[in-house]
């Protein structure tokens, strides 16, 4: 993959030239076509961490509000929306090109229950029954921890979150930090250098 494809995928407005590329995503229980692009994470394929998450046997609410935090082109949000058609799935990303891709991908696959938004455009009163995320570790530890605190505090009572994080990028230390912050967290899977971390709402 061209190293500029993912360059600055956490920028609000990528300046790298657009070069859309559509891929087929086939999961055991569903499938969809997804357009990817340069300047958005993981052009031309579903990355290993996201692939682990969307193929895992994870709890997923069938109704209410669900969140894909750091949605990119939307593979997690699309999988959630197809599996829970009665729920509203929020695909949230700072990257404007990523949000455009999410919108196009929802339309392409005939998915009516996805809401695409910048972080500041999600109504503050919404609480999420399920949060799935391949968080943007490369924005740096302080920024990523602040991001996770902001959104994990919006887990509904009885809700669940799942984060996929590379071991060598701090998955184990992140798990310990979440525990210290009051979020019960356990590792549910480990494969190809990635950890799946299941996170429960913050303890009172």
For the chain, domains (ranges, CATH) are 21-199 (3.40.50.150)
pLDDT reported for residue 11: 57
Give the per-residue SS3 of the chain.
CCCCCCCCCCCCCCCCCCCCEEEEEECCCCEEEEEECCCCCCCCCCCHHHHHHHHCCCCCCCCCEEEEECCCCCHHHHHHHHHCCCCEEEEECCCHHHHHHHHHHHHHCCCCCEEEECHHHCCCCCCEEEEEECCCHHHCHHHHHHHHHHHHCCEEEEEEEEEEEEHHHCHHHHHHHHHHCCCCEEEEEEECCEEEEEECCCCC
| pTM for the model | 0.92
**Average pLDDT of the chain, as a whole number:** 93
Residues 61-93 have pLDDT tens digits of: 999 999 999 999 999 999 999 999 999 999 999
Q: In the structure, what pLDDT confidence band is assigned to residue 1 with cuts at 50, 70 and 90? A: very low
**pLDDT tens digits, one per residue of 130-187:** 999 999 988 999 999 999 999 999 999 999 999 999 999 899 999 999 999 999 999 9
Short-list 68, 77, 72, 31, CA closest to 163:
68
pLDDT at 66: 99
């Amino acid at each position: 993959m061209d190293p500029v494809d993912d360059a600055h995928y956490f920028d609000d407005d990528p300046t790298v030239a657009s070069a859309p590329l559509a891929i087929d995503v086939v999961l055991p229980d569903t499938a969809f076509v997804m357009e990817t692009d340069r300047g958005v994470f993981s052009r031309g394929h579903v990355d290993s961490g996201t692939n682990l998450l969307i193929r895992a046997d994870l709890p997923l609410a069938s109704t209410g509000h669900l969140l894909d935090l750091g949605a990119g082109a939307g593979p997690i949000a699309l999988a959630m929306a197809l599996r829970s058609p009665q729920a509203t799935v929020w695909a949230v990303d700072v990257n404007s090109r990523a949000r455009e891709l999410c919108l196009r991908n929802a339309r392409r696959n005939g998915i009516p229950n996805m809401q695409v938004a910048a972080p500041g455009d999600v109504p503050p009163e919404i609480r999420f029954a399920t949060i799935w995320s391949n968080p943007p570790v490369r924005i740096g530890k302080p920024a990523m921890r602040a991001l996770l605190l902001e959104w994990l505090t919006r887990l509904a009572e009885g809700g669940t979150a799942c984060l996929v994080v590379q071991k060598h990028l701090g998955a184990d230390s992140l798990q310990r930090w979440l525990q210290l912050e009051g979020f019960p967290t356990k590792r549910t899977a480990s494969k190809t250098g990635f950890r799946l971390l299941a996170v429960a709402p913050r303890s009172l």
